[in-house]
Amino acid sequence: MTTPILNKKCPICGKQAVLEYQPFCSKKCADIDLGRWLKGTYVVHTNEAPDDAEEAAHLTKSDTDSD
């Protein structure tokens, strides 16, 4: 049985995304994205969730402080 694919591209490498790891193409790319979050270097701009934006700003601040 083949893995179901999605009609969109992986934001990491640009390959076709699969259902299991959406919006990514594989666990590898999902892990890469997760790693960016953990390092606090992955900044998402959104107008929908002020709480998340506040949290992201905090992460960015602590990141610049340590490096």
Closer CB to Zn ion, 12 or 56, in the complex: 12
Whether the Cβ atoms of residue 19 and residue 35 lie closer than 8 Å to each other: no
Do you know the residue count of the chain? 67
Residue whose token pair is 């602590």 = 62
Of 33 and 60, nearer to Zn ion (C-beta) is: 33
- Residues 6 or more apart from 46 whose CB is under 8 A from it? 52, 53
Binding residues for Zn ion restricted to 3-42, rule: CB under 5 A: 10, 12-13, 15, 25, 29
Neighbours of 17 (CB within 10 A): 21
CB of 24 to Zn ion, least distance (A): 5
Nearer to Zn ion, 6 or 53 (CB): 6
By CB under 5 A, name the binding residues for Zn ion: 10, 12-13, 15, 25, 29
